[in-house]
Structure 1
Amino acid sequence: MNVHMDPSTEKKLNEHMGARPGYFKLFYDTEDCGCNGVLTLQIIDQPLDTDIKVEADACELFVDRQQQSLFDHTMKIIADPNYPSFTVRSDSSLFSSNVRIRDLRQN
């Protein structure tokens, strides 16, 4: 899986990461949502044993091994310039146009 990002997306992701260490994870959160899941960009302290590192332009990005099949081989993450959200898409699919960052770091 390859994930591409433009410079404005890279900048916005770096702003969310800040000076604290961490990793990004593309994740369908199904806990307490009553649906098939809400796509989120998580900031985590460490990847889990079940996480797989994907090729990404700007950052270290992971997906859960079981969720990898839900995504296309080549993806794009695009920052919304006017709103604190991102669009996740491929050439053939729109996965979500309102992806939020959820900071799960403990430090």
Structure 2
Amino acid sequence: MRLQMDDYTESKIKEKIGERPGTLRLVYDTINCGCNGVVTLQIADKPWDTDIAVESESFEVWTDRQQEQQFDPVMKLEADRDYPSFKLSSDGAVFSRNMRVTDMRAE
């Protein structure tokens, strides 16, 4: 799987990561969401044991190997210029128009 993003999106992700070390995890989250699941982008200290690498030119990105099937081979992440959220899409589908970044790093 490959995750593409433009320069503006890269800058917004860099803002979210800040100066602390962190890696990105693309997750189909079903915990406490009250629905069938939502796509989230997490900032984590490190990948989980079940994660596999997602190809990205900008950041170290991971996803759970069992969740990879939920996504298309090429995904595009776009920062919303008018709202603090992101859009995740592919050529065939929109996975989320209002995706948030959640910082999961230990304090």
Q: TM-score, normalised by structure 2?
A: 0.97
Sequence identity of aligned pairs in percent?
52
Deviation per residue, 1:60-96 (Å, 9 max, x gap): 1000111000000000000001111000000010000
1:13 aligns with 2:32: no
Q: How far apart, CA to CA, are the structure 2 residues paired with 1:89 and 1:32?
A: 24
Deviation per residue, 1:14-41 (Å, 9 max, x gap): 0000000010011111111121111110
SS state at 2:100 partner: strand
After TM superposition, what 4+ stretches of structure 1 lie above 4 angstroms from structure 2?
Answer: none
Q: How far apart, CA to CA, are the structure 2 residues paired with 1:46 and 1:57?
A: 18
Q: How far apart, CA to CA, are the structure 1 residues paired with 2:36 and 2:56?
A: 25
SS state at 2:82 partner: coil
The one-letter amino acid paired with 1:100 is R
Residue in structure 1 matched with residue 106 of structure 2 by the alignment: 106
Q: How far apart, CA to CA, are the structure 1 residues paired with 2:29 and 2:70?
A: 13
How many pairs does the alignment contain? 107
Computed over aligned residues only, the root mean square deviation of the Cα atoms, in angstroms, reads 0.7
Residue in structure 2 matched with residue 39 of structure 1 by the alignment: 39
The one-letter amino acid paired with 1:61 is V
Q: Which consecutive unaligned segments of at least 5 residues does structure 2 have?
A: none
The one-letter amino acid paired with 1:16 is K
Q: In the TM superposition, what are the counterparts of 1:84-103 in structure 2 within 5 Å?
A: 84-103=84-103
